[in-house]
Amino acid sequence: MPTLAETLERFTAKGELYEKIDGNRIRCYACGHCCPIPDGAVGVCKVRFNRGGVLRVPWGYVAGAQCDPVEKKPFFHARPGALAFSFGMLGCDLHCSYCQNWVTSQALRDPEAVSPPLQASSKELVHMALRQHAEIMVSTYNEPLITSEWAVAVFKEAKAAGLMTAFVSNGNGTPQVLEYIRPWVDLYKVDLKSFDDRHYRKLGGRLQPILDTIRALPKMGIWLEIVTLLVPGFNDSEGELRDLTEFISGVSPDIPWHVTAFYKNYKMTDPSDTSPGDLLRAAEIGRRAGLKFIYAGNLPGMVGDLENTYCPDCGTLLVERYGYHIRRYRLSAGGSCPSCSRAIPGRWAETFLAQRTDRPHIQRFTRA
Ligand code: SF4
């Protein structure tokens, strides 16, 4: 029986995001770690490795795929109601102790995380998406930056077929990887997990590359939404939330900020679950920082009006939601307020007909 590492080695291709350092040593630029990798070694993510001075990267498989409402990613200002065909691979450059997708993201790092790859071609994935009437192809579940070459291969097919494309990412990027994906990615969600570098180091990363990614994406014309999972006692102090939301607002007050509820998961079982009151307090801090679009997630029906979109100028209700479900949609064609005509930032459809689904459904593959 081959090990997971041996199986995964079959599903690789020559990477593009690296350079030679000296001899057979190379440096990978797919994420903010910028790992120097000697011949025969793997990067921090465990899924990109050096073979004879050539970077091998994940290719030709998924760990799973699912059709999600776009609201689940979450994108609230991009094609509301659309179906997002979502695929993930294996591995991550971080090791968050509360990861909800740890079985796939911590592959090759945590021996308990075992999820075999399912062979797939980019054409096949796009075909499946079209068959389901999806409008968006999303690289998600594990960290998409570390599998950027494969995502770009899939997104080239997806865009040729008229689909939008998205990354759901921790944002630990580099200028090189962002330039590489730029022509192929329309939407980008960054998890801004904290505003304290010491906290980021506990998760296996650094704050600075994430901030750089957040500054770069809007300049590149990629639509950005930010999520902060509010973990009591970890990232929810008044000062940290003030700094975090003032930073986002300084990049642009139009960036939607989703502050979402934590529940005990994986190795993080000490903090209490986030309460509706915690989310309301965080949202108020965000409002004081000047953010115009703040959403509270993971506690449907318990957070007042924080699931809805309102016009920041006249207060008109534009999109009413309950969890992932759209109850009412009142934006004018192309995304403006029907009362005062203010343009609402986002990537809106010309017309909204109906939401495709408000719950995910899993796609079936044959095992490799
Ligand atoms: S993706 Fe990141 S962690 Fe993986 S090898 Fe490249 S730089 Fe290192």
Q: What is the pLDDT of residues 266-325, one digit of tens each?
A: 666 777 889 999 999 999 999 999 999 999 999 999 999 999 999 999 999 999 999 999
Against a cut of 0.85, is the pTM above it? yes
pLDDT for the residue numbered 110: 67
Which residue carries 């090990």 as its tokens? 3
At residue 267, the pLDDT reads 65
Confidence of residue 115 (pLDDT cuts 50, 70, 90): confident
Return the residue whose CA atom lies nearest to atom 5 of ligand 1: 43
Question: Which residue is it, tokens 């459904």?
Answer: 361
Ligand 1 centroid distance, CA of 78 (Å): 29
**Alpha carbon of 362 to ligand 1 centroid (Å):** 29
Ligand 1 pocket mutation, candidates 39, 93, 170, criterion most atoms within 8 A of CB: 93
Sign of the dihedral defined by the CA atoms of residues 92, 96, 97, 99, in that order: negative
In the structure, what pLDDT confidence band is assigned to residue 263 with cuts at 50, 70 and 90? confident
Query: Could you give the CA distance from residue 206 to residue 97 in angstroms, rounded to a whole number?
Result: 16
Six-digit token string for 51: 């073979």
Q: What is the full DSSP assignment across 54-114? A: EEEEE-SEESEEEEEEGGGTT-SSBSTT-EEEEEE-S--S---TT-TTHHHHTTTTSTT--
Question: What pLDDT does residue 95 have?
Answer: 85
Share of the chain above pLDDT 90, in %: 80
Ligand 1 pocket residue status of 30, Cβ below 6 Å: yes
Lowest-pLDDT range of 6-15, 90-99, 165-174, 345-354: 90-99
pLDDT at 5 exceeding the cut of 90: no
Atom index in ligand 1 nearest the CA of residue 47 equals 4
Helix and strand element counts for the chain (H, E) = 9, 20
Average pLDDT in the 102-115 region?
70
pLDDT value of residue 334: 85
Report the separation in Å between the CA atom of 206 and the middle of ligand 1, taken as the mean of its atom positions.
Answer: 14
Whole-number Å distance between alpha carbons of 233 and 82: 36
pLDDT at 1: 77
Confidence tier at 22 by pLDDT (50, 70, 90): very high
pLDDT of residue 365: 62
Mean pLDDT check: name the lowest of 22-26, 32-36, 89-93, 141-145. Answer: 89-93
- What are 240's two structure tokens? 């940290």
Q: What is the mean pLDDT of the chain?
A: 93
Tokens of 27: 């440096």
Per-residue pLDDT band for 97 (boundaries 50, 70, 90) equals confident
Q: To test the ligand 1 pocket, which listed residue (28, 46, 51, 206) has its Cβ within 8 A of the most ligand atoms?
A: 28
Residue whose Cα lies nearest atom 4 of ligand 1: it is 45
Extract the runs of DSSP E, i.e. beta strands, from 206-360. Answer: 223-230, 257-261, 294-297, 309-310, 317-322, 325-329
Among the residue ranges 142-156, 213-227, 268-282, the one predicted with the least confidence is 268-282
For the Cβ of 33 lying below 6 angstroms from any atom of ligand 1, the answer is yes
Write down the pLDDT at residue 8.
82
Pocket probe for ligand 1: among 16, 21, 25, 31, the residue whose CB has the most ligand atoms within 8 Å is 31
